[in-house]
Amino acid sequence: MRTVQITLEEDLVQAVDRAADRLDQSRSAFTRAALRTALARLAVQAREQQHQAGYLQQPVTPDEFDAWEGEQVWGTDATRRDSVVHVQNP
């Protein structure tokens, strides 16, 4: 691991310390996890933007997925019983 120095506002340091204490982590461990989470979110955003740009360049046609509709196998209630979630209305 490499040691780095960063400058943070006092209120941010205090908030990080409180959160790290609640999680029984060091400030460094909490900050590493927060930075990893932020980087992962940026990667997802980049992929979403790329996906959106692709669909803007080549939009879906109205019948593009029609051929797959007949290929979907939903099964019967007897074969799906283990995977079906039954929700009761309150």
User: Mind listing the pLDDT tens digit for each residue in 10-47?
Assistant: 999 999 999 999 999 999 999 999 999 999 999 999 99
- Flag whether 67 is in a domain: no
User: Phi, psi (5° rounding) for residue 79?
Assistant: -85, -15
Map tokens 């209305």 to a residue: 89
pLDDT mean across residues, the chain: 87
Q: Give the domain extent around 37.
A: 1-61
Distance CA 11, CA 22 (A): 17
Mean pLDDT across 49-78: 83
- Flag whether 34 is in a domain: yes
Q: How many domains does the chain have?
A: 1
pLDDT at 63 over 90: no
Distance CA 23, CA 29 (A): 10
Those residues with Cβ within 8 angstroms of residue 84's Cβ, 6 or more apart along the chain or in another chain = 77
Is-contact 19 30, C-beta < 8 A? yes
Map tokens 């943070």 to a residue: 8
